[in-house]
Amino acid sequence: MSLLKPTEQERVRIEKLKQLKLKGINPYPARVPYEISIKEILSEFRQFTETELSTAGRILSIRSHGKSTFMDIDDGTGKIQIYLRVDDLGEDRYGLIELLDIGDFISVRGIPFLTRTGERTIRVHSYILAGKSLHPLPEKWHGIKDIETKARQRYLDTLANPESKLLFQTRSKIIQAIRKFLDSRGFLEVETPILQPLYGGAFARPFITYHNTLEMNLYLRIATELYLKRLLVGGFPKVYEIGKNFRNEGIDHNHNPEFTALEVYQAFSDFEGMMRLTEELIRFVAKESIGKESISYNEENIDLEQPFRRRKLTELIKEKTGINVPETKKEEIAAYCQKERIEFNENASYWKLVDEIFKHKVEPELIQPTFVVEYPVETSPLAKRTEENPNFVERFELFIAGRELANAFSELNNPIEQAERFLEQQKARESGDVATESFDEDFLLALEYGMPPAGGMGLGIDRLITVLTGANSIREVILFPLLRRKQR
RNA sequence: GCCCCAUUAGCUCAGUUUGGUAGAGCAACUGACUCUUAAUCAGUGGGUCGAAGGUUCGAGUCCUUCAUGGGGCACCA
């Protein structure tokens, strides 16, 4: 693993490094000839035959036939075969390819031609080592399978597994498509603080850090919501932010402590408007990134093209469990939880229990895109109440493939009521709830100046990517997911 | 934090049932080979079997603890 105790193969490479030095060859030159990428050569191959050119790449395989040698080299844009012959290079330079290994970078100058079997190849007139590799690369045929190595040494994963490289290219496309969609609709991309004196906008425990000069504790943000809404106050009617949130909680196939989220806010819109926006956004992004509006998931086909279903939270609960919310008494619901082996906190509130049931019984079955609506005010301290029933708020969550992807509501812009809601959160905190909204006076001050009625939406980008790429876990779509430190 | 599973050569994996000399392919090394392409042919080397204890005449294999990863539960939108 480390060169402190090299394996046999690593010792061989270090020895070759010494040999190169003895021959006056710099194994890590600052620059090498590279006029044209391999992708360009391949795409206009006919145009380049009979023209001398230079390119470079990493050696992926070596097939030596005595006085001639074939190699495959890859510069990250593509892979091409090169052909080296002793009568082209001379005995000395040809002999030096003994010092090259799979994994090394070389720059070659030569003429593209087609081999007998039609393989696009460069006949090399001269070459120069562009960078020595001191470890053997993972095996060419099976790539690298160990999930832990894939995550810890992502460079080996993307090097050895083309599908893994493609996935991260798709990830980039997805985020690009989100920007394209929102920009084209006149949304302004902004950046708000990651280091916050107070955290809010979600129920989660934060990471805490410290600023030396200011001598103050700071929190890594758990959401961007409260700052983006300040911008609504400040006269930006359509804003969005794409960035990392940090939540100090467990890790599983749906949760990484740092994750990428989108939040969008639109003045004079509401949760209905956000529903339309979200649906169109996801459809657009799917088409742009994976080129289709359907995904296969566990042998089922997820259809993003049809209008997304809209279902009431209470109806879904009733269908699945027969429980009538909110008529059914808390004791009965608790009894149901016990019967179904759903664990819950002793002093959990009514809606907390309902939420537990929803998570265990309903959520995993929401495979097709489903907007769930009618959430209780109790668990939505930043959302506006519905006009018909003050116990509920204008809010939806979007579920696809049994996962929560998005959360949106008509934003509460009444500062008096917001203050009351914060107070209720404080009470919940005092009675032992660890994940509540902070009482954010600075945010309230902004609301007091007047925030336009607005819709806001948050979307977990990593989860969206997981669904669109068919990945099994959020860890597979994050380049460097958080892992425990490995001791040697 | 709790339960279950995995960890063997650089990589991919056998071997664990029933304890008895550590295996294969690729990669590496030596030799042959001037259109090969998972090149081929002949040969060679490479292991703290995740770590530490224990049981045993003898442990990759059985037991305990620990580490890392995975799955589940809990926590957590």
Q: Which residue is nearest to nucleotide B28 (CA to C1')?
A: A9
Is the per-residue pLDDT at A381 higher than 70? yes
Residue A34 contacts strand B, CB under 7 A: no
Domain ranges of chain A: 8-131, 155-308+369-476
Confirm whether any atom of chain B, the nucleic acid strand, is less than 7 Å from CB of A255.
yes
Q: What is the distance in angstroms measured between the alpha-carbon CA of A267 and the sugar C1' of B15?
A: 66
Position with higher pLDDT, A447 vs A437: A447
pLDDT score at A332: 84
Residue A78 has pLDDT above 80, yes or no: yes
Extract the tokens encoding A478.
């994050």
Does the C-beta of A111 come within 7 A of strand B?
Answer: no
CA–CA separation, A247 vs A242, rounded Å?
A: 16
Distance in Å, residue A146 CA to nucleotide B23 C1': 21
A478 contacts A256 by C-beta, under 8 angstroms = yes
> Which protein residue's Cα is closest to nucleotide B72 at C1'?
A252
CB A323 within 8 A of CB A357: yes
Equal fold, A8-131 vs A155-308+369-476: no
pLDDT above 90: percentage of residues in chain A: 81
CA of A488 to C1' of B56 (A): 31
The residues with which A105 forms a beta bridge, in sequence order, are A58, A131
Residue A98 confidence (pLDDT) above 70 = yes
Please report the pLDDT score of residue A487 as a whole number: 60
**How confident is the model over A255-270, as a mean pLDDT?**
96
Place of tokens 């819709």: A455
Name residue A148's amino acid. E
- Where b means 16+ CB within 10 Å and e means fewer, A16-40 reads bbeebeeeeeebeeeebbeebbbeb
Q: How far is the CA of A148 from the C1' of B17 (A)?
A: 29
The protein residue nearest B50 (Cα–C1') is A488
Evaluate if residue A202 carries a pLDDT over 70.
yes
Taking the CB of residue A332, how many other CB atoms lie within 10 A of it? Answer: 12
pLDDT interval class at A435 (50, 70, 90): confident
pLDDT for A114: 95
d(CA A369, CA A400): 5
Rounded to whole angstroms, how far apart are CA atoms A5 and A488?
12
Judged against a pLDDT cut of 80, whether residue A390 lies above it is answered with yes
User: Is it the case that residue A62 has pLDDT exceeding 60?
Assistant: yes
A466 touches strand B (CB under 7 A): no
Nucleotide nearest to A98 (CA to C1'): B29
pLDDT at A3 over 90: no
State whether the beta carbon of A444 lies below 7 angstroms from any atom of strand B.
no
Vertex A78, ends A72 and A84: CA angle to 5°?
25
Distance of alpha carbon A295 from alpha carbon A47, whole angstroms: 39
**pLDDT above 50: residue A1:** no
Nucleotides of B under 7 A from a protein CB: 1, 9-13, 25-30, 32-40, 45-46, 67-77
Comparing A13-22, A74-83, A115-124, A430-439, the range with the smallest average pLDDT is A430-439
CATH architecture type of domain A8-131? Beta Barrel (2.40)
**A323: confidence class by pLDDT, cuts 50, 70, 90:** confident
- Weakest-pLDDT range from A73-77, A79-83, A351-355: A351-355
Mean pLDDT over A318-326 rounds to: 86
How large is the average pLDDT for residues A108-112? 97
- For the CA of A62 and the C1' of B33, the distance in angstroms is 14
Q: Which nucleotide is nearest to A351 (CA to C1')?
A: B77
Which nucleotide lies closest to A342 by the C1' atom and the CA atom? B73
pLDDT in the model for residue A300: 86
Check if residue A248 sits with its Cβ under 7 angstroms from strand B. Answer: no
In 3-state terms, what secondary structure has residue A278?
Answer: helix
| pLDDT value of position A299 | 79
CATH 3.40.50.720 fits A155-308+369-476, yes or no: no
DSSP bridge pairs for A296: A301
Distance from residue A456's CA to nucleotide B16's C1', rounded to whole Å? 57
Q: What is the pTM of this model?
A: 0.94
CA–C1' distance A196–B20 (Å)? 65
Average pLDDT over residues A130-138: 95
Residue A245: both structure tokens together: 């949130």
Q: What is the ipTM for the molecules in this complex?
A: 0.91
**Distance between the alpha carbon (CA) of A475 and the C1' atom of B74, Å:** 21
> What's the mean pLDDT in A179-204?
96
Contact of A177 with A285, CB cutoff 8 Å: yes
Mean pLDDT of chain A: 93
Query: Of A299 and A208, which is predicted with more confidence?
Result: A208
Q: What is the pLDDT of residue A70?
A: 97
- Chain A 390-419, CB < 7 Å to strand B: 397, 404, 407
Beta-strand relationship, A309-312 and A370-376: parallel
Q: Identify the pLDDT of residue A339.
A: 78
pLDDT of residue A179: 98
Other CB atoms within 10 Å distance of the CB of residue A135: 16
CA trace torsion A156, A159, A160, A162 (10° rounding): 130
CA A306 to CA A218: how far, in whole Å?
45
The reply to whether the CB atom of residue A484 sits less than 7 A from any atom in nucleic acid chain B is: yes
The whole-number Å distance from A165's CA to B72's C1' is 30
- The per-residue pLDDT for A186 is 98
Position A58 pLDDT exceeds 60: yes
Strand B contacted by A344 CB (< 7 A): yes
The nucleotide minimizing the C1' distance to residue A481's CA is B69
Tokens representing A272 are: 């209905």
pLDDT for position A322: 85
CB A457 within 8 A of CB A241: no
